[in-house]
Amino acid sequence: MAAFPAVLFAQAAPKPITLKVGANPIPHADLLNLVKADLLAQGVKLEIIEITDYVTPNLLLAEKQIDANFFQHTPYLVNFAAERKLALEPAGQVFVAPLGLYSRKYKKLADIPAGSIITIPNDPTNEARALVLFQNKGLIKVDPNAGLKATIRDITENPKKFVFKEIEAPQLPRTLDDAAAAVINGSFATQAGFFPARDNLIIEGA
């Protein structure tokens, strides 16, 4: 499940309050827009701050420039907060956009040649999720002791000799002009014009 962290603030007064939430544009901001009217009827004016990366939302939250954010899963939040010594906690559980493998050159996973370049997220936990996608298909093996902190350095077997390159998550769709395929979060895949349920070569949960 995804995490919806927030800095604790005083109980709302009877008059309308403004709630600032940082969110990735698609689908998170879109989903928040669907509830704006309902929240306003309850005395809460929802202000959505669209942010296109995975770092800024937590930094703004820690600096109390926003009241909450909506873009990440719990392992990412916990790791990010621990590494940067930030007092952030999940305020609730929501959905997780699935990671999937996408390509502009190949229609099937089996078509990707040995030795091809595959780009994957470089952020903690999401890189591990990307590697698990390949491991679950029997394409690589990853050191089981690495857990959710696994990186390409924890790959123990890679019979097809794929060349995995770590890239910042928002930039992954742009790598498809050169790379054979990329593991992209569902939100960024949608922004790039992919329909995850239709266009993936591999997807989490399938």
88: domain CATH number?
3.40.190.10
66: its two tokens: 């926003």
Q: What is the DSSP letter of 114?
A: T
Phi/psi of residue 174, each to 5°? -70, -20
My answer on whether 141 and 197 are in the same domain is yes
- pLDDT, position 14: 65
More confident residue, 49 or 125: 49
Question: Over 60: is that where the pLDDT of 13 sits?
Answer: no
My answer on whether 115 and 90 are in the same domain is no
Residue at which a domain ends, from 62, 94, 126:
94
User: What's the average model confidence in pLDDT over 66-72?
Assistant: 95
- pLDDT, position 97: 83
Per-residue confidence band for 73, with pLDDT thresholds at 50, 70 and 90? confident
Sequence-ordered list of residues with C-beta below 8 angstroms from that of 100, at least 6 positions apart, any chain: 133, 183, 184, 186, 189, 194, 196, 199, 200, 201, 202, 203, 204
pLDDT, tens digit, 9 for 90 and up, residues 155-173: 999 999 999 999 999 999 9
User: What's the average model confidence in pLDDT over 36-47?
Assistant: 94
Phi/psi of residue 164, each to 5°? -90, 130
My answer on whether 84 and 9 are in the same domain is yes
State the DSSP H helix or E strand holding residue 74, giving kind and residue range, or none if neither: helix 74-84
Domain count for the chain, please give it. 2
6: its two tokens: 């927030």
My answer on whether 84 and 176 are in the same domain is no
Q: Whole domain around residue 137: which residue ranges?
A: 99-203
Question: Over 80: is that where the pLDDT of 7 sits?
Answer: no
pLDDT, tens digit, 9 for 90 and up, residues 98-115: 999 999 999 999 999 999
My answer on whether 179 and 124 are in the same domain is yes
Sequence-ordered list of residues with C-beta below 8 angstroms from that of 114, at least 6 positions apart, any chain: 160, 161, 162
Question: Over 60: is that where the pLDDT of 11 sits?
Answer: no
pLDDT, tens digit, 9 for 90 and up, residues 142-157: 999 998 889 999 999 9
- pLDDT, position 205: 81
My answer on whether 116 and 184 are in the same domain is yes
My answer on whether 144 and 189 are in the same domain is yes
My answer on whether 73 and 114 are in the same domain is no
Residue at which a domain ends, from 94, 112, 146:
94
